[in-house]
Amino acid sequence: MRLVLVGPPGAGKGTQAQFIASNLSIPKISTGDIFRANVSGGTELGKLAKTYMDRGDLVPDEVTIAMVRDRLGEDDAQDGFLLDGFPRNVRQAEILRDMLKDWGQALDLVLNLVVDDDEVVRRLAGRRTCGQCGRIWHVEFDDKKDDVCDACGGKLFQRDDDKEDTVRHRLEVYQEQTAPLISFYADEGILKGVDATGPVEEITQRAMEVLRPFAG
């Protein structure tokens, strides 16, 4: 099965991608993993990407797409894959479609994790990170009433990108960039939405119920 996972920041894409890929026995492929593998492996694409990353610049689409093409060409992805974090816009989606078409393949499904903005803010703005061991706690889900890490005693802090104003801005950017992508896949007839609220296990169950008819 060839699958793309989309959803706003805080929707739990990374967690669900891991569970879904494991259930379907296909590799989970994220752009972050691809970048790290290329950079640590010293590939030509990795060296090129690193020049942008070291300057704090975004890696151009062309470099990202070339890395994705190489990864999808590997043996373990021939019978299916789950893409997380790619494509991010309609242009990338069109290139991915054409790439797969050249290989006699096509996406089976695009799974959209649906969660409203207030729930995303609740999830992300409630996170606190330990400055000593790096563990993440949540003021609501972990019932944290103090600013001390229960694991190591370190002091907890709120990362800048977890602050409410920043989270809401990230959601605005996501809507601007991804709403056209979701429309694109809806028009292709391969988009399915999954309610991404509630316990992780329940969300995975909902996703698998949607995927079952497509998984053969």
Q: How far apart are the first and last CA of the chain?
A: 8
Q: Is-contact 181 144, C-beta < 8 A?
A: no
* Structure confidence by residue, pLDDT tens digits, 76-133: 999 999 999 899 889 999 999 999 999 999 999 999 999 999 999 999 999 999 999 9
- CB-based contact 194:114 (threshold 8 Å): yes
pTM: 0.85
Closest CA to 195 of 110, 122, 112, 88: 112
List active site positions.
Answer: 13, 88, 127, 159, 170
Is residue 168 packed enough to be buried (19+ CB in 10 Å), middle (13-18) or exposed (0-12)?
middle
pLDDT tens-digit series, residues 122-172: 999 999 999 999 999 999 999 888 999 999 999 999 999 899 999 999 899
